[in-house]
């Protein structure tokens, strides 16, 4: 089939590449000339594991092309995916300007039947809006489908190729048939394509992300309470998670959720509720708790240094909002670093992939280290913000030699308490007892 994808970010590029992998002819359109030039030269512009192999293979096979011309994209595809940003607007709602502006152009430019598929995360009623905007100028038939995306950064290729489900919101039989055909290679294993109306599909995405954010936040509250009563959140997590009604996943406490989606999507659903006079009280609490959770270790660090961080050097491991990505959007590390800098601390930071993005934001306010161990040199303490695998089994004796004090503040509960206790570290984590204090 002939496919076009408008917007080549984490979602668009993965969608385009994976659809080319199943034999479709794909053109990806992006407004960012530099990015398109890079991709034309065979460079993947984001860090996403396993994407490079598929990317290269499909470019070589001539199934994956890139352009800045929306017109070229619209002429090519029978199915047009919109994978455009829907960032948080000033009032917390989803900013639909990217989606609606491109839709306006689509209306002016399409010459024959097209299925316009919205893959961006958008509020209920957007498919209807997109339909209206296109219909203003379109001189041919078209359908608008809502097809929310559930991939996770860091696992995007795997999630796309082996989805647990595909949600298609459509009231057109013609469009639904095309979507089923396109996705048939991905559901061979028995995972379903769930067909529903557009509005339900749009809400499914917000409900899923908000539920997961709530699940994490609930565990963060349990973790905070564990500290008050001397329980161990890791034990509680395992005890709860083995109940299949609860499930083991997304129960990991820490310094809060970040990323390009949970924060903005929870706020957008809360705001959408408000607009309909519905008060999503649970989401209001989730937003508030998560915001405080991001800096929950800050007073503990201050307390350890007798409330004087001036001139203290803190090493930081992990800057991305989670491992296996270079994405720093809404990363808890940012809140922690801003807080520490405000208190006068100096920061020596290391992340395997996210340093260039952090450098764009913080410039020379931070010292960027070549390696995880280099970050520790002469630092007064180590703070862990992201659970990259390489941080999981460090050489503790080397850590001890490099750090001025053997102190670790761990926002992701990476280490076994007995191990770090035996190594002689002061170890402060989340929802567990503090060791050697």
Ligand X SMILES: O=C(O)[C@H]1O[C@H](OP(=O)(O)OP(=O)(O)OC[C@H]2O[C@@H](n3ccc(=O)[nH]c3=O)[C@H](O)[C@@H]2O)[C@H](O)[C@@H](O)[C@@H]1O
Ligand Y SMILES: NC(=O)C1=CN([C@@H]2O[C@H](COP(=O)(O)OP(=O)(O)OC[C@H]3O[C@@H](n4cnc5c(N)ncnc54)[C@H](O)[C@@H]3O)[C@@H](O)[C@H]2O)C=CC1
Looking at beta carbons, which residue is closest to ligand X? Answer: 261
User: Hey, what's the torsion of the CAs at 341, 347, 353, 357, to 10 degrees?
Assistant: 40
Least separation in angstroms between CB 168 and ligand X: 16
Mention every residue, 6+ apart, whose C-beta is less than 8 A from residue 293: 217, 220, 224, 254, 255, 256, 332
Q: Is 140 a residue of the active site?
A: no
29 contact choice in ligand X, ligand Y, none (CB below 5 to 8 Å, kind-dependent): ligand Y
Token digits for 13? Answer: 């590029």
Least separation in angstroms between CB 68 and ligand Y: 8
**Binding of ligand X by 170 (CB under 6 A):** no
CA distance 12 to 4: 10
Residue 151 counted as an annotated binding residue = yes
Per CB under 6 A, residues contacting ligand Y are: 6-12, 29-32, 35, 83-86, 98, 102, 120-121, 149, 151, 153, 260-261
DSSP secondary structure letters along 200-212: HHHHHHHHHHHHH
Residue 258 counted as an annotated binding residue = yes
Q: How far apart, in Å, are the Cα atoms of 284 and each of 87, 155, 213, 216?
A: 19, 29, 12, 15
Phi and psi, residue 421, nearest 5°:
-65, -45
Token digits for 309? Answer: 């961080």
Residue 96 counted as an annotated binding residue = no
CA distance 294 to 436: 24
Least separation in angstroms between CB 357 and ligand Y: 12
Q: CA-based Rg of the chain, rounded to a whole angstrom? A: 24
Residue 149 counted as an annotated binding residue = no
Angle 173-174-179 from CA coordinates, rounded to 5°:
95
209 contact choice in ligand X, ligand Y, none (CB below 5 to 8 Å, kind-dependent): ligand X
CB 431 within 8 A of CB 224: yes
Pair type for strands 79-82 and 25-29: unpaired
258 contact choice in ligand X, ligand Y, none (CB below 5 to 8 Å, kind-dependent): ligand X
Least separation in angstroms between CB 33 and ligand Y: 10
Residue 288 counted as an annotated binding residue = no
Nearer to ligand X, 324 or 380 (CB): 324
DSSP 3-state of 77: coil
Nearer to ligand Y, 149 or 330 (CB): 149
Residue 394 counted as an annotated binding residue = no
| Interface of this chain with ligand X, residues 309 to 348, rule: CB under 6 A | 321-322
Give the start-end residues of each E strand in 180-318. Answer: 193-196, 313-317
Least separation in angstroms between CB 85 and ligand Y: 4
Where do contacts with ligand X occur on this chain (CB under 6 A)? 121, 149-153, 209, 212, 216, 250-252, 254, 257-262, 321-322
Looking at the annotation, which residues are catalytic? 261
Residues in the annotated binding site for substrate: 150-153, 205, 250-254, 258, 322
Residues in the annotated binding site for NAD(+): 30, 35, 86, 121, 153, 264, 329
């Amino acid at each position: 089939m002939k496919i076009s994808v408008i917007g080549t970010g984490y979602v668009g590029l993965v969608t385009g590449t994976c659809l080319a992998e199943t034999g479709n002819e794909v053109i990806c359109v992006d407004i960012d000339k530099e990015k398109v030039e890079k991709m034309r030269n065979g460079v993947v512009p984001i860090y996403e594991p396993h994407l490079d192999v598929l990317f290269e293979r499909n470019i070589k096979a001539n199934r994956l092309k890139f352009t800045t011309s929306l017109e070229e994209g619209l002429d090519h595809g029978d199915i047009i995916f919109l994978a455009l940003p829907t960032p948080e607007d000033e009032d917390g709602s989803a900013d639909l300007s990217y989606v609606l502006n491109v839709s306006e152009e689509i209306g002016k430019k399409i010459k024959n039947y097209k299925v316009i598929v919205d893959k961006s995360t958008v509020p209920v009623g957007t498919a209807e809006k997109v339909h209206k905007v296109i219909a203003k100028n379109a001189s041919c038939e078209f359908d608008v489908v809502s097809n929310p995306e559930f991939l996770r950064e860091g696992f995007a290729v795997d999630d796309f190729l082996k989805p647990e489900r595909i949600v298609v919101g459509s009231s057109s039989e013609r469009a639904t048939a095309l979507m089923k055909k396109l996705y048939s290679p991905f559901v061979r294993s028995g995972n379903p394509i769930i067909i529903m109306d557009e509005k339900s599909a749009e809400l499914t995405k917000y409900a899923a992300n908000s539920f997961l954010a709530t699940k994490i936040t609930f565990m963060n509250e349990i973790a905070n309470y564990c500290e008050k009563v001397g329980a161990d959140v890791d034990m509680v997590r395992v005890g709860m998670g083995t109940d299949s009604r609860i499930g083991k996943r997304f129960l990991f406490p820490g310094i809060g959720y970040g990323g390009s989606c949970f924060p903005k999507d929870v706020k957008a659903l809360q705001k959408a509720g408000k607009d309909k006079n519905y008060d999503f009280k649970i989401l209001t609490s989730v937003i508030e708790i998560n915001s405080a959770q991001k800096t929950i270790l800050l007073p503990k660090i201050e307390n350890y240094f007798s409330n004087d961080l001036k001139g203290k050097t803190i090493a930081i491991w992990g800057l991305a909002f989670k491992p296996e990505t270079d994405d720093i959007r809404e990363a808890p590390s940012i809140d922690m670093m801003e807080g520490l800098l405000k208190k006068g601390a100096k920061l020596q930071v290391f992340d395997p992939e996210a340093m260039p993005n952090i450098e764009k934001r913080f410039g020379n306010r931070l010292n960027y280290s070549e390696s995880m161990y280099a970050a520790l040199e002469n630092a007064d303490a180590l703070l862990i913000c992201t659970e990259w695998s390489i941080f999981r089994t460090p050489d503790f004796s080397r850590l001890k030699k490099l750090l001025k004090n053997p102190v670790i503040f761990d926002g992701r509960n990476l280490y076994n308490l007995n191990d770090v206790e035996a190594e002689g570290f002061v170890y402060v984590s989340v929802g567990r007892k503090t060791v050697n204090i």
